[in-house]
């Protein structure tokens, strides 16, 4: 293998594929990045056996070949090199890298031991996403997924496509985010659950893409695949039945309120200073008579705090306890000037929608104190 490329192109490619490197790999070679020069292109790839990322780096290939190099070592080294031309060659799995003023050797492992990588089918029927819209959607939804590996279905994001409407949702059993997108598709109706961590990485990788993201499903291998420009991400689809979350979405309410987002964020953050000393519980009091909301901390061991903000409140006077962390997760992932709140009671699911995200809803379950 022998090739020449620009430092910035190789550094970018290594940064992309290193997202699939496992923290603790079941096989030593999984800690390596695959370099493969073939058909005039340099392919970089990495996998943790659940997710695989492949990208192609612009370069000049003089001789075909392949090897694998320790991911952290090569990524950090190339990122540290100054901009300029890099020349690379391979001799007996020793990878030689030469720049203007440096000569470096990396001990690799034969590419023959590397797992087989999935590829994006050329004739696949796809859904296409605008990269910016997709990134916004994932940031609105994926944060509500769970982290408990004993309930793997909750660690994923649910994608359901029917008749031109794609619904994306996630829940950890205590909160729920759902966003609806209109998309043009060649595929038939489907429902899949994709690991939230992978979907977040996909959104980041393609966020600056000038091409639409193409998405398809390989049912035979139980894979979901994303592709744009010269990069492909393939991930295992989570098995299991996603919960019927539609049942908990409130269709009527005895209390509704609307309030300025920035004032609410400030109030929750101030109260959270005290709430995080305990169990993150805060109390929100909705007063329709005064048209105000009061937010107070419940952890009295370290002190007390109360914030007040103007709001439009209709219905019954009500006090509801929430996890401040859940509220802040929602507030930090939604960009809106005003929030609308609805609930059937202080122990019922609470619905939050925004003035400029009519296709997005969020639900938080109250805490029982």
The neighbouring-strand residues paired with 165 are 162, 182
Q: Note whether 343 and 351 are within 8 A (CB).
A: yes
Tokens describing residue 353: 């929608």
Nearest of 51, 61, 68 to residue 16 by alpha carbon = 51
What are the residue ranges spanned by the domains of the chain? 2-113, 127-246, 250-364
User: Which of 69-83, 205-219, 298-312 is least confident?
Assistant: 298-312
Q: What is the mean pLDDT of residues 226-249?
A: 94
Q: Note whether 349 and 365 are within 8 A (CB).
A: yes
Q: Tell me, what's the pLDDT at 57?
A: 96
Q: Note whether 314 and 255 are within 8 A (CB).
A: yes
Q: Tell me, what's the pLDDT at 218?
A: 92
Instruction: Specify the 3-state DSSP secondary structure of 145.
Output: coil
Residue 136 phi/psi, 5° resolution? -65, -40
- How many Cβ atoms are within 10 Å of 97's Cβ, its own excluded? 19
Q: Tell me, what's the pLDDT at 25?
A: 67
pLDDT tens for each residue of 283-296: 999 999 999 999 99
Q: What is the mean pLDDT of residues 59-79?
A: 96
pLDDT tens for each residue of 155-197: 999 999 998 899 999 999 999 999 998 887 878 889 999 999 9
pLDDT higher than threshold 90 for residue 58: yes
At a CB cut-off of 8 Å and minimum separation 6, what does 183 contact? 127, 128, 129, 161, 164, 165, 166
Nearest of 367, 368, 361 to residue 341 by alpha carbon = 361
- Decide whether 2-113 matches 250-364 in CATH topology: yes
Q: What is the mean pLDDT of residues 234-246?
A: 95
* 250-364 is classed CATH 3.10.150.10: yes
Residue that is written with structure tokens 């690379």 in the block: 88
CATH class of this structure's domain 127-246:
alpha beta
Q: Note whether 127 and 215 are within 8 A (CB).
A: yes
At a CB cut-off of 8 Å and minimum separation 6, what does 226 contact? 202, 206, 213, 214, 215, 232, 233, 234
Side-chain-facing half-sphere of 195: CA atoms under 13 Å: 20
Cα–Cα distance for residue pair 28/25, rounded to 1 Å: 6
Nearest of 350, 353, 346, 354 to residue 317 by alpha carbon = 346
Q: Tell me, what's the pLDDT at 199?
A: 96
Could you tell me the pTM of the whole model?
A: 0.91
User: From the centroid of its chain, how far is CA 129?
Assistant: 15
pLDDT mean across residues, the chain = 93
Reported as a pLDDT band with limits 50, 70 and 90, residue 307 is very high
CATH class of this structure's domain 2-113:
alpha beta
Q: What is the mean pLDDT of residues 116-139?
A: 91
For the chain, what percent of residues have pLDDT higher than 90? 82
Cα–Cα distance for residue pair 327/314, rounded to 1 Å: 21
pLDDT higher than threshold 80 for residue 234: yes
pLDDT tens for each residue of 33-48: 999 999 899 999 999 9
Q: What is the mean pLDDT of residues 237-252?
A: 92
Read out DSSP for 69-113? EEHHHHHHHHHHSPSSEEEEEEETTEEEEE-SS-EEEEE-B-GGG
Q: What is the mean pLDDT of residues 195-200?
A: 96
Reported as a pLDDT band with limits 50, 70 and 90, residue 278 is confident
Largest CA distance in the chain: 80
């Amino acid at each position: 293998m022998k090739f020449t490329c620009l430092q910035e192109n190789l550094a970018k490619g290594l940064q992309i594929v290193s997202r699939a490197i496992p923290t603790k790999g079941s096989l030593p070679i999984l800690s390596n990045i695959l370099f493969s020069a073939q058909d005039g292109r340099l392919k970089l790839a990495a996998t943790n056996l659940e997710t695989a990322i492949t990208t192609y780096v612009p370069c000049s290939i003089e001789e075909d070949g392949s090897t694998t190099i320790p991911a952290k070592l090569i990524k950090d080294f190339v990122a540290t090199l100054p901009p300029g031309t890099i020349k690379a060659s391979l001799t007996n799995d020793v990878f030689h890298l030469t720049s203007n003023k440096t000569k470096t050797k990396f001990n690799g492992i034969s590419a023959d031991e590397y797992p087989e990588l999935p590829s994006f089918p050329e004739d696949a029927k796809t859904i296409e996403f605008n990269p910016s819209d997709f990134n916004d959607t994932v940031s609105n939804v994926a944060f509500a997924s769970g982290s408990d590996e004993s309930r793997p279905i909750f660690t994923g994001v649910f994608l359901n496509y029917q008749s031109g409407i794609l619904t994306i949702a996630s829940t950890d059993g205590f909160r729920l985010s759902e966003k609806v997108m209109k998309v043009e598709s060649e595929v038939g109706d489907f429902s899949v659950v994709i690991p939230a961590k992978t979907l977040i990485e996909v959104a980041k990788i393609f966020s600056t893409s000038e091409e639409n993201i193409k998405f398809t499903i390989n049912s035979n291998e139980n894979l979901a695949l994303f592709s744009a420009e010269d990069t492909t991400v393939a991930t295992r689809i989570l098995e299991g039945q996603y919960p019927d979350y539609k049942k908990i979405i409130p269709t009527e309410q005895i209390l509704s309120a609307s309030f300025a987002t920035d004032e609410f964020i400030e109030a929750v953050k101030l109260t959270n200073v005290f709430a995080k000393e305990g169990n993150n519980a805060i109390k929100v009091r909705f007063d329709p008579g005064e048209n105000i909301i009061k937010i107070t901390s419940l952890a009295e061991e370290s002190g007390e705090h109360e914030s007040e903000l103007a709001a439009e409140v209709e219905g019954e006077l009500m006090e509801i306890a929430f996890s401040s962390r859940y509220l802040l997760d929602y507030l930090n992932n939604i960009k809106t000037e005003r929030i609308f709140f609805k609930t059937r009671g202080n122990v019922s699911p609470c619905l939050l929608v925004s003035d400029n995200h009519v296709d997005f809803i969020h639900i938080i379950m109250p805490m029982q104190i």
